Each structure stands twice: as C-alpha cells, then as structure tokens.
Chains A and B, each alone.
Chain A
Amino acid sequence: IAGITQAPTSQILAAGRRMTLRCTQDMRHNAMYWYRQDLGLGLRLIHYSNTAGTTGKGEVPDGYSVSRANTDDFPLTLASAVPSQTSVYFCASSDQAGRANEQFFGPGTRLTVL
C-alpha cells in the first residue's frame, strides 16, 4: 500500500510559468488537503476537498487552484508562479473531514521559483 504519492519530488521553476503538483492516494479517503510548509511558519492550508467533486479555500489560497475529479487525485496548480511560492508542498488525506480524524501526509514536493 503506497498511501499518498506526490510528484514531482522537487522542481525548479521560472517565475511566470504554470506548474501542476500531483497527488494521488490509494486509501479511498474522502477528504484531501494541500499544505505549504515554510520555515518558522509551520504548515498552512492552501485548499481542501471534503469529497470528490467539491473543493474549498484554506488559509492561503491566492495564486493556487485545485480540482477533485475523482476520489484518488487532487492536483494543485500554480497558474503563474512567483518567488513567494517557493516552499515545500504537502498533500494529505483523511477518511472523513471530522475534527477527530488523523491526516495522512505524502512525502512532499520541494518547489523553488526563481
């Protein structure tokens, strides 16, 4: 069982380019999340999806978009990357969106925008 996979592992991107970070889970979890991790700031939620076909904005959604066409996949798109989007991005999932649920995390994508 792989859990959550993310691709690419790392990427260097020129400012202004479009980039899609991929996330796939095989646990049949309903809820999925995208976080960014920055030194000294912990993890901040970008977007979430409680179930396939629905998405919502988290704490820092500007400059990012997501889609949830099916249960397993939850891609994150940067339409026009900027240097402030340099970060480590984590995809996570949980069985349900209740507040007692454990979230399972992928290995992360390290993105550098120049």
Chain B
Amino acid sequence: DTEVTQTPKHLVMGMTNKKSLKCEQHMGHRAMYWYKQKAKKPPELMFVYSYEKLSINESVPSRFSPECPNSSLLNLHLHALQPEDSALYLCASSHPGDQPQHFGDGTRLSIL
C-alpha cells in the first residue's frame, strides 16, 4: 500500500457517462499530479497542481477536468471519454522543489 490513496481501483464506463477519480494524500505535500499510463509505456504527465492551483496542463482534452478542492485531495472528472482513454491513471504528490514524487496505485479505467 502507498501513502497516496486512489479510488476507485477499477472503473468501467460508457462513452456517455460522467465519473470522477479521487486521489488523497496526508503527507503534507503541496504539489499533486495526474498521469496517464498505457500498457508497456511510461507515465505521461497530464496535470500539475501546486499549492492548490493548476500550474501545468499538458494540452489534455477538455473531457478530462481536474480539481483540487484542498491540499490533500485531487480529483479528475471524466466526461464523454473515448475508447483510447482506457489506461491506468496515476496520481502522485510531492513537496514542491527538489523532492521525489510519490505515486498511488492508480485507477485502471476501461471505456466501453
């Protein structure tokens, strides 16, 4: 088990559904990240929040909408996803600055 908790662990949804992924950490980290990982590929950065403000959006389609309600929580709202969005979605957190990122176990998302 990691110190970054992601829920749900698995999610299957249709292309017209709306769902949310949740990430929580209690390490006092002020930077939080969403990554997408396809099979046999490295993680690809999607979004970075620093001190609850969005600091990086890697040109992610608007059907993915991040939200950082407080310093411990990070959500990823999903709407009208495509089959190619099926992947492992990883959340990470770190102290801003020269500190390693710590990853959650991810949510395995399947789009039907």
Pairing of A with B: no
Q: Which A residues fall within an 8 A CB radius of B?
A: none
